[in-house]
A = this chain, B = another copy of it.
Amino acid sequence: MNEAIIVLDMTEDSIAPEARAVDKRKAILPRVKEFLAWTRKTGRPVIFVCSARRKTDKWFLKYWELANEIWKPGQAPIAELYDAQKDVIVHKRRYSGFFGSDLDLTLRELGVTSLVMFGWSTSLAVVTTAVDGWQHGYPTTVVSDLCISHAWGGHSVEETHQWSLQFIEAMAKSRIATAADLMK
């Protein structure tokens, strides 16, 4: 088994002052850093899957603000998490890491057969990438304490995080585990 670590949307723009749930996001960065250091030591490839918007994206911008603009510094992986010598960057254009991207091709070229993923948000990039991972045939693990959720439907960030994890477990058939569990 060759397992890759998929880091979803942990970009510089995603921790800018105006970003969603920014305090919660920043609070888990030290734990993410520790987990990534551990995974790199085990030889697992780390793939930062980063949203890449174009200012000409009329459809996208009808629904969401312009952040993570392609080729701009804010779209890069968070500097303290990224190892430029070893890590891979893949651009995605929508929610799922697999949609309109070269993620599947990159995984094939790396000989990857299973995925460990986390990032923001549990209820968008994580849930859609986990489901698409299952649809492609990849076994997946979601690192529950390295994800922060978007809220929706009047529910809290914590509630939607829990619902999303339950959905991911039931539908994407993912193993749900904490960073500490995995580093054991």
Contacts and interface: CB of A to CB of B under 8 A. Distances in A.
A179 interface: no
A131 interface: yes
Q: How many copies does the complex hold?
A: 4
A1 interface: no
Interface stretch (A7-15, A25-33, A36-44, A56-64): A56-64
A5 to B, nearest CB: 15
Interface of A: 45, 54, 56-60, 63, 71, 88-89, 91, 93-96, 99-102, 104-106, 108-111, 123-124, 128, 131-132, 134-137, 150, 152-155, 163, 166-167, 169-171, 173
Given A100-B135, A152-B171, 20 more contacts: A56-B88, A60-B109, A94-B105, A94-B135, A95-B135, A95-B171, A96-B131, A96-B135, A100-B104, A100-B105, A101-B102, A105-B136, A108-B136, A108-B137, A109-B137, A124-B171, A128-B131, A150-B170, A152-B169, A155-B166
